[in-house]
Amino acid sequence: MATGLQRNLKIADQAPPPAARQPGETAVRVRGLSRRFDTRSVLADLNLDIAAGEFVALLGASGCGKSTLLRILSGLDRDISGEVQVPARRAVAFQAPRLMPWKTVWRNVVLGLPGRPDRARALAALDEVGIGHRADQWPKVLSGGEAQRTSLARALVREPDLLLLDEPFAALDALTRIKAQELVGELWQRHGCAVLLVTHDVEEAVLLADRVLVMKDGVIAHEERISLPRPRDVAEPVFARTRGTLLDWLGVRHGAARAH
């Protein structure tokens, strides 16, 4: 049945704390999702469930439909067929921070929120990501890592039940990327929201996620549950085996440390 994007009306106006969420509660439910661009099929009868509080990473070759799925879940693409249920409160952080250069950092954080700009609320979010001291700066003076932290603060200030991350670390240098990955892991554990991370980086997916999905030909072709304790060690043999399995599904030799 062809439907537009549907909101899950069972989600409360204020998210319950992580401890109050019931086991088995679902944040995302997708059934029979298809998306075509002219004659090209990008998503083909895709099914997906994400539990409340679960961290899911989505891998796949360029053009496999990862970002299209994320855009649909965020409400940016409604020309679909199938059933999509997502929380009313959700937020997105993209690869590019997408900051408005004519607004200060704190005003970028609360941009789009209803009511008058709430500086205290923005400062709390900026402090949480470690850049409260940059609140009154202009975006042009921020480093790449600071700009991405501002983007995360803008997502978190919305107190989402679902956080969608579209390759948010891809443009960062190696050291900044590691710090950003650690930050996202800490924020997820603190807030308890469901997370869907779209990435090309297999190591990143295994480091952060409870479950890693591999997309091929517009569907979820493989699922890998990650039971390693946190924080995770890339030198751990189980970590290496898991990474190798995912690389196999992506058509990359085991010798490659990362899939790009």
The CA-CA-CA angle for residues 191, 119, 164, to 5°, reads 35
b/e per residue, 125-146, with b = 16+ CB within 10 A? bbebbebbebbeeebeebeebb
Q: Can you give the pLDDT at residue 94?
A: 87
- The first and second tokens of residue 179, run together, are 């710090």
Domain boundaries, the chain: 23-249
Give the pLDDT score at 252: 82
Query: For position 24, what pLDDT does the model report?
Result: 59
Token digits of residue 137 = 């700066």
pLDDT of residue 89: 93
List beta partners, residue 91. Answer: 163
Distances (CA, A) of 178 to 38, 42, 70, 175: 39, 31, 23, 5
185 contacts 178 by C-beta, under 8 angstroms: no
Residues in Cβ contact with 192 at an 8 Å cutoff, skipping those fewer than 6 apart: 17, 18, 21, 53
- Give the pLDDT confidence score for residue 55 in this predicted structure: 97
Q: Which CATH number fits domain 23-249: 3.40.50.300, 1.20.1290.10, 3.40.50.1700, 1.10.3720.10?
A: 3.40.50.300
Q: What is the pLDDT of residues 200-259, one digit of tens each?
A: 999 999 999 999 999 998 899 999 999 999 989 999 999 999 999 999 999 886 554 444
Q: Quote the pLDDT of residue 254.
A: 57
Q: Low-confidence residues of the chain, pLDDT below 50?
A: 1-21, 23, 256-260
